[in-house]
Every structure is written in structure tokens, then in C-alpha cells.
Homo-oligomer: A and B are copies of this chain.
Amino acid sequence: MAETDDAGFGMQELIAKLEAFAAERDWESYHDPKNLAMALSVEVAEIVEIFQWMRGDRSRNPDRATREHLRDEIGDVLIYLAMLARKLDIDPLDAAHAKLEKNRLKYPAAENRAPSSVFAEDPLQD
């Protein structure tokens, strides 16, 4: 998938397109970060809805139609996340890379391997 970035279909081009899309429709006045955060949560709920009654193991292999639906919803979530980040002058990819480094320090691999996590979260598991 590396071609995606190489070909220029990257985050910056997405943000530029989103600004033009909103400007063409005069929607900018609606795009308070507060409102965009609400819209982001609504789009994420559309992903949650797809999985709400599905068994966890089955969610790893959705049928073709469900995967297409998920692709649209994942696209919508990234669209609203990028719009929100842009309003706040935050680069979402930089933010994710920086947060992942913080998570590395917060959850050292040696002390956070699955078995202990399982026990911590789920005492019933013998």
C-alpha cells in the first residue's frame, strides 16, 4: 500500500480536498471542533453498529458486502478526524506517531504481555 503515500494520495492531499469541499458548500461555519467531534463520534458508531451483534472471531472475516460497508465508514471516520485535526492545526499522522512513542514508555513490552493483561482484565480466566 506504500504507493498510496508515494502517489500523493496522502493525508495532506485529503485535508486540502476536504477544505475545498467544505468551502464550495459554505459549510465552514458549522465546523467548530465541538461539532466535528460529535460528527466523528456518529461516524464511529456506524462502524460499531456493523459489529454489535457479530461474534468477535467472525468480525475478522466479514463478507464482501460488509467489508465494502466498513470501507465507506472507515473513510468517513478519517474524513472527520482529518477535518477536526485541521481546525486545531494538528497533523493527525504526527500526533499518532508521537502518541505511539508515549504508549511505548507507558506500556513496556516486558511488563505488558497478554497473559497478565488477560488476568488483569478478566479474573474468570483460569
When A25-B107, A84-B47, A84-B74 are in contact, do A100 and B42 touch as well, CB less than 8 Å? Answer: no
B62 near A75 (CB under 8 angstroms)? no
A25 near B114 (CB under 8 angstroms)? yes
Would you call the interface of chain A mostly helix, strand, loop, or mixed?
Answer: helix
B39 near A96 (CB under 8 angstroms)? no
Bound complex: CA A7 to CA B53 (Å): 34
A97 near B61 (CB under 8 angstroms)? no
A1 near B5 (CB under 8 angstroms)? no
29 pairs, CB–CB < 8 Å, chain A vs chain B: A1-B12, A2-B10, A4-B11, A11-B93, A14-B96, A25-B107, A25-B114, A25-B117, A29-B114, A32-B57, A33-B51, A34-B51, A34-B56, A37-B47, A38-B51, A41-B41, A41-B47, A42-B52, A44-B44, A53-B121, A54-B121, A56-B56, A58-B122, A61-B124, A63-B124, A74-B90, A75-B98, A79-B100, A79-B103
